[in-house]
Amino acid sequence: MQLLVSVTSETEVEAAVEGGADIIDVKNPREGSLGANFPHVIRLVRERTPGSLPVSAAVGDVPNLPGTVALASLGVATCGVDYVKIGLFGVSRETDAVSLLQEACRAVRTYDPRIKVIATAYADAYKVGALPPLVLPEVAVESGVDGCMLDTARKGEGNLLTLLDENQLLDFVQRCHNAHLLCALAGSLSEAEVPEVSKLGADIVGVRTAACLGDRINGRVDSKKVRRLKALIAAGASPSYVPRSEAQTAALDVPR
């Protein structure tokens, strides 16, 4: 399992890298769970991050506006990232989610087909009227994205492990892997909860607060905390993600 550490600026990159983060993620928690950061910040984070480490960035907690999301996804793609994360906040129906994600994929892959698109649903979707989280793997397959992520929309009102039970999470991970989708788990996780999440078999665990001195908005990533998280993950199960083959992707008939 890889550790994704979210940073809010280039000044946090060094600590995340020193602590052993596998993926450097860029977001702006002042604008929401998957709040979008500024293009110049994403570019600076990419410049400060060693070339061997991938960088991901959030498009935002997006509305059900496919054109807007496609344009925003293209903007993120031009900033040198390896992953584009889309939070399905304003989307409640599966058909709408598929349509939106297909257009985002078209925009990103026309620019650079190597960039992976990750669809994110919220474990507490019922609180905000968003897409039910457990349907995400099927939406992902139909839309042609590269992976699925679970997060939480309302911070401070429960976390991934209190909102979904172990069987639900295990089933989610298995369905992602059966479809050759990357699977990431996040959502207000503390250091104490990382070992439990590590046992679920996902490919990536994402954190911010657990890697920070201070809160998710005003805190700063600390290398010692990141190193402890890495040690906890080391005892967990190894990832079983197998990328979808070109033939399988083509069979989905999704614009690339």
- Kindly state the average pLDDT of the residues 108-116: 98
Tens-digit pLDDT profile for residues 23-71: 999 999 999 999 999 999 999 999 999 999 999 999 999 999 999 999 9
Residue 65 CA: distances (Å) to CA of 75, 104, 138: 15, 11, 21
Cβ atoms within 10 Å, residue 20:
17
Give the span between the Cα atoms of 21 and 39, in whole angstroms: 22
Contact 100, 91 (CB under 8 A): yes
Selected catalytic residue, list 85, 116, 155, 225: 85
Query: Residue 236: its pLDDT value, please?
Result: 67
**Short-list 2, 41, 92, CA closest to 58:** 41
Whether 249 has a pLDDT exceeding 50, the answer reads no
**Residue 205: enclosing H or E segment and its boundaries?**
strand 204-207
What tokens appear for 239 in the block? 């990832």
Residue 27 designated active-site: yes
- List domains and CATH numbers for the chain: 2-251 (3.20.20.60)
* Farthest-apart Cα atoms in the chain, separation: 47
- Kindly state the average pLDDT of the residues 114-136: 97
Q: Residue 99 corresponds to which amino acid?
A: S
Selected catalytic residue, list 27, 116, 155, 225: 27
Mean pLDDT, all residues of the chain = 92
For the entire predicted model, the pTM comes to 0.90
Residue 85 designated active-site: yes
Query: Residue 235: its pLDDT value, please?
Result: 79
What percentage of the chain carries pLDDT values higher than 90?
89
Give the span between the Cα atoms of 194 and 192, in whole angstroms: 6
